[in-house]
Structure 1
Amino acid sequence: MRHVTIAAAAYPLDWAEDWAAYEAKTRAWVQMAALKKADLLVFPEYAAMELASLGGAEVAADLTRAVTEVLYHRAAMERHFEGLAIEFGLYILAPSGPAQDGYDLRNRAVLFGPAGRIGHQDKAIMTRFEREDWTIGPGRGLTLFDTGIGKIGIVICYDSEFPLLSRALCEAGAEILLAPSCTDAASGYNRVRIGAQARALENQCVTVQAPVVGLAPWCPAVDENHGAAGIYGPPDAGWPEDGVIARGGYDEPGWVVATVDLDQVTHSRRDGSVLLFQHWSEQPLQAVQIRTVAESPRKS
């Protein structure tokens, strides 16, 4: 059996007076998950925006200057999480946030392991806010991370709502899909949650949602955040009947931790009660054959 213990963060954004305060907070979070024997830690989308507080109130309150401040600290943040992954012998998906890609901005999440940096995934499909107000653009393609604990794909927030992205990753071998999220309303949280659960169903795999929670009125880009951390699987034999492996309380900060057996992913895909992963390719054969049947007029 290939057991992996996953910790999904429901993470509040706090004002940090200085780098030492930020470092102390994030170290405490990692240490807490390590004490729970977690192998893989997942931090949320845009949780890196709390670094904007290091520039002071005026900077954090301005959309453009807040991004610039986060970019200034980005390399230090990555070194910090890389060091934590090495020190604690863990895999960590660090908080996503703005990253410079040439002249363009991306929403980037970096995965670290016990040996250091593994690689990154940029968000592929942008929300209206990112497109229209924040000028953060899409990345280029998807990455499969072949790690010592399993094959991992990352679908950042909105990406989890588009099934072909997750399907491509799972066809490439992904067994776990990580969906870090940042949503400002219950509807947004539920879209990502439903997306994550649907992707687990379709691909007969494990999905992990890690949201930002709570209020951060000092930074308009992430001023209100709602959600619950969750770890999901397919509702099939060997899994919970509702597909919910573990889920935290709504807007309740902390780690949600569960142990999954990735051999069960392999078994479900090969010999589950249903075989959605295998039967996916049958859809186009049916979808191209659309007939229209008109209702006959009612006789008077």
Structure 2
Amino acid sequence: MNNPRKHFGIAALQLQLAEADNLELLLQRIQKTKLRFPWVRMVVLPELALRGVGVQHARELPSPEEQAFCRSARELGIWLVPGSMYEKCGSAVFNTTPVINPDGEVVARYRKIYPFLPYEKGVTGGDQFVVFDIPEVGRFGVSICYDMWFPETTRALTWLGAEIIIHPTKTDTIDRIDELSIVRASAITNQCYVVDVNSCGAQGVGRSIVVGPEGETVHEASVDEEIIAFEVDLDKVQRVRERGMKGLGQTLKSFRDGKVRYPQYEQGAESAALQKLGVLKVPD
């Protein structure tokens, strides 16, 4: 009998999306993916796939759109991470990713900790890390786009036990090639899978990427629409973390056992060097 933990099917949907209401298109693509790849147990969409940018799209959660995703997950019997959407909470707006289980229940909502400031105007950063367990499979973490530029966020998810990091992205700029380097570095230094899914078309430049715990590229997409269906091997994550990357660096053990105190994390810490950089604003 196959070990149910060993392999887990995921589909990352790099879709050609307009800066418009994409709900029906997304629901169709989710259903089509499950029909085409019946072994897939989780579907992941890009950041802000629902409507694109603009805090005017913010809705209180649960919203009718989120509930539609819940119905889809329940009908198809899948885990669903439907990218992210702008969430209105009082006077604040968050960039939020729901995590939906096969019973159609929202088991977590992750609020992007680092909005893409100064460009992602009007969005408040969250302050909670999110991990969730899939029984008999493993622990997953959630991160959104610009979060990964801050390696502390990925390390925090790893510290909390994440073996696979789901990372919806919306990048339509020339720094996509740099993001690919960050994804690879994040996977190899945290000895985990990173599933980084971007939009294409009007919303993004594509080039989604899935990287494994030894820094291996499972798949790097083109700039066109792609359904990236693949399996992760959770036993490999455990083996790499225990034995070291390629039998070499046991990074997480060294981090766990280290006694160093990082000056930037001391209570009340300030950096004279960083203060000299001035205010966070769009370049003149």
* TM-score bucket (shorter structure): 0.7 to 0.9
Distance in 1 (CA, whole Å) between partners of 2:47 and 2:24 is 20
- The residue aligned with 1:56 is none
Change (3 A) 1:25 1:183: same
Displacement, 1:227? 2.4
Q: Please tell me whether the aligned partners of residues 8 and 230 of structure 1 are also in contact (alpha carbons under 8 angstroms).
A: no
**Aligned pairs, how many?**
252
Distance in 1 (CA, whole Å) between partners of 2:147 and 2:93 is 17
Counterpart residue type for residue 41 of structure 1: V
Q: CA RMSD in A?
A: 2.4
Partner SS, residue 255 of structure 1:
strand
User: 46, 55, 60: which is aligned to 1:67?
Assistant: 55
| 1:167-246 correspondence runs (5 A) | 167-187=155-175, 189-215=176-202, 222=203, 225-235=204-214, 243-246=216-219
- The residue aligned with 2:17 is 13
Counterpart residue type for residue 42 of structure 1: V
Does 144-153 or 79-88 show the bigger shift?
144-153
Distance in 2 (CA, whole Å) between partners of 1:247 and 1:195 is 14
Counterpart residue type for residue 7 of structure 1: A
| 1:48-127 correspondence runs (5 A) | 48-50=50-52, 66-71=54-59, 75-115=63-103, 116-127=105-116
| 1:146-185 correspondence runs (5 A) | 146-148=133-135, 149-185=137-173
Distance in 2 (CA, whole Å) between partners of 1:159 and 1:44 is 14
Per-residue CA deviation, residues 144-169 of structure 1 (Å, 9 max, x unaligned), is 11223421111100111211111111
Displacement, 1:281? 4.4
Change (3 A) 1:105 1:69: closer
Per-residue CA deviation, residues 182-233 of structure 1 (Å, 9 max, x unaligned), is 112231x223322221111011110001101112xxxxxx5xx212122111
- The residue aligned with 1:128 is 117
- The residue aligned with 1:4 is 8
Distance in 1 (CA, whole Å) between partners of 2:19 and 2:151 is 36
Uncovered stretches (5+) of structure 1, i.e. residues with no partner = 51-62, 216-221, 236-241, 289-300
Q: Please tell me whether the aligned partners of residues 230 and 256 of structure 1 are also in contact (alpha carbons under 8 angstroms).
A: no
Give the percent of matched residue pairs that are identical in Structure 1 and Structure 2.
24
Change (3 A) 1:155 1:72: closer
1:141 aligns with 2:113: no
Q: Please tell me whether the aligned partners of residues 130 and 136 of structure 1 are also in contact (alpha carbons under 8 angstroms).
A: no
Distance in 1 (CA, whole Å) between partners of 2:193 and 2:162 is 9
Change (3 A) 1:126 1:72: closer
Q: Please tell me whether the aligned partners of residues 74 and 99 of structure 1 are also in contact (alpha carbons under 8 angstroms).
A: no
TM-score by length of 1: 0.77
Displacement, 1:15? 6.7
Displacement, 1:72? 7.6
> Larger radius of gyration, structure 1 or 2?
1
Q: Please tell me whether the aligned partners of residues 49 and 70 of structure 1 are also in contact (alpha carbons under 8 angstroms).
A: no
Distance in 2 (CA, whole Å) between partners of 1:245 and 1:140 is 31
Partner SS, residue 12 of structure 1:
coil
Partner SS, residue 27 of structure 1:
helix
Distance in 1 (CA, whole Å) between partners of 2:190 and 2:44 is 20
Displacement, 1:25? 1.6
Q: Please tell me whether the aligned partners of residues 158 and 192 of structure 1 are also in contact (alpha carbons under 8 angstroms).
A: no
Q: Please tell me whether the aligned partners of residues 246 and 257 of structure 1 are also in contact (alpha carbons under 8 angstroms).
A: no
Counterpart residue type for residue 45 of structure 2: F
Per-residue CA deviation, residues 69-125 of structure 1 (Å, 9 max, x unaligned), is 453897111001111111111111112121112210100010101022111101001
Distance in 1 (CA, whole Å) between partners of 2:210 and 2:132 is 19
More helix by share: 1
Q: Please tell me whether the aligned partners of residues 60 and 87 of structure 2 are also in contact (alpha carbons under 8 angstroms).
A: no
Distance in 1 (CA, whole Å) between partners of 2:60 and 2:153 is 31
Distance in 1 (CA, whole Å) between partners of 2:262 and 2:126 is 30
Distance in 2 (CA, whole Å) between partners of 1:113 and 1:244 is 27
